[in-house]
Structure 1
Amino acid sequence: MVREHIDTIDSLLARYVAGTLPAPARVLVEAHLELKPENRVRVANLEAMAGQALMEIDPAALSDRDAMLAAIIESQAPETVAAAPKPDAVVFPQVLRDFIGFDAGDVPWRTRLPGYREYDLGDIDGCHVNLFWIKPGRTVPAHTHEGSELSLVLDGAFSDSRGHYGRGDISVADDSVDHRPCADAERPCIGLAVMDAPLKMTGSFRQMIGDLIG
């Protein structure tokens, strides 16, 4: 995803519409749309804007994907369409179950840190993919990102210095973000993470120990 930098939800959705996302990021967006069907309106608008923009772009410029995406984002949105009805609540959306082959109750979690579990799906289409589980009230040690990371909340919620992320929300982070996500106290936070480079710990050793045993 570094070669196609993603820094906002709008740019993420624009790349989804343009078909330039790697497979795990595309699954993440489709899972987001299952959980937040109202955002299908944004995607439908982007698709309509893309069609309008493509008619206005010089065909010789179509090989430049960045120019095409810029045209999509800058176009004026047409009249919005009605949002699809919300599906029945499930922990894992159907597209994610199809992608990983099982549902939430069957995840073979492994404890990586106190209060933090992970299921590592490995490298897929140039991205590293994992499911994560954070104990209620647990703070993840401070870190930044050497590349781009997309995190989709599947159940529960977490907060960091930028805001609060609940079921269906996507957190977009890169090397400009240094944060300490903290799961809400009511229930574990379960999510899907797609990244194109490793994390980099930034907190002091004392802070890290405090986060892990707090």
Structure 2
Amino acid sequence: MTMYQGQFGTLDALVSGYVAGSLPRPLHVLMDAHLELSPANRPIVAGLEGVAGDALEQLDPMELGDRDGALSAIFASTTSAETDPVKRCGTMPRALADFVGHSVDDIPWKTKMPGFREYDMEDVDGCHVSMFWIKPGRTVPSHTHEGMELSLIIDGAFRDERGRFGRGDISIADPSVDHRPVAERDVPCIGFAVTDAPLRLTGSLRQRLSDILAI
């Protein structure tokens, strides 16, 4: 059984867990950073925790099926939708920079394969945490996940069979997702990943070797 036990496998569940204060620290940081980067959700940064917390605290994260309705209720309860300008540490949202302890420019990356770098922060509150950097145009070999993987894109973008994930987007992958992400060609794709189990390579050996050895 994974650490999440399926309870944070949707954006709805993440929102309700964030409001209730029940997320593990890395996921709380991921949501803080997501809200900093998402213009439509910036009012939540100022008012979410102080508004409707008591009401949503009793909800099972799996039962919050109407994200738009929940967010509308939160906005309706605030007296003002104005927020201060979002403070960032360069490319990194402030919440993530404080958690990681580095800006993007001074992260001690380690090359895992050509065109793919990682900064492994190991385990925090039962979650495995890392930053990743993908060279523009680079393909990550096909893989699936033994558990959950939640990734926040902080710069650049990648595409896979599910669509496009750009700055501020959260990719949620579980054992049902078998994908081959490809970074867009303009800038590196940089992200923050929280997982509870290793990934597993899929696809043909020929294709895997081609992807791994590609420069």
TM-score norm. by structure 2 comes to: 0.83
CA–CA distance in 1 between the matches of 2:53 and 2:66? 8
Pair 1:187 & 2:187 matched = yes
Instruction: Work out whether residues 127 and 194 of structure 2, in 8 Å CA contact, stay in contact via their aligned partners in 1.
Output: yes
Aligned position for 1:57:
none
Aligned position for 1:30:
32
Secondary structure at the counterpart of residue 108 of structure 1: coil
Aligned position for 2:10:
8
1:71–1:213 Cα change, 3 Å: closer
Within 5 Å, which residues of 2 pair with 1:1-214? 1-41=3-43, 51-52=54-55, 66=60, 70=63, 77-78=72-73, 80=76, 82=81, 84=83, 87=86, 90-214=90-214
Deviation string for 1:22-62 (max 9, x for gaps)?
111111110111111422456857975554466xxxxxxx5
> How far apart are residue 2 of structure 1 and its match?
2.2
1:175–1:4 Cα change, 3 Å: closer
CA–CA distance in 1 between the matches of 2:95 and 2:56? 29
CA–CA distance in 2 between the matches of 1:72 and 1:205? 40
TM-score norm. by structure 1 comes to: 0.83
Deviation string for 1:116-141 (max 9, x for gaps)?
00010011110100000001001101
Higher helix fraction (1 or 2): 1
Aligned partner of 1:166: which letter? G
Deviation string for 1:130-174 (max 9, x for gaps)?
000001001101111111111001111111111111111110111
CA–CA distance in 2 between the matches of 1:32 and 1:105? 20
Q: Give aligned pairs, total.
A: 204
1:71–1:153 Cα change, 3 Å: closer
Identity %: 50
Aligned partner of 1:38: which letter? A
Secondary structure at the counterpart of residue 133 of structure 1: strand
Instruction: Work out whether residues 143 and 203 of structure 2, in 8 Å CA contact, stay in contact via their aligned partners in 1.
Output: yes
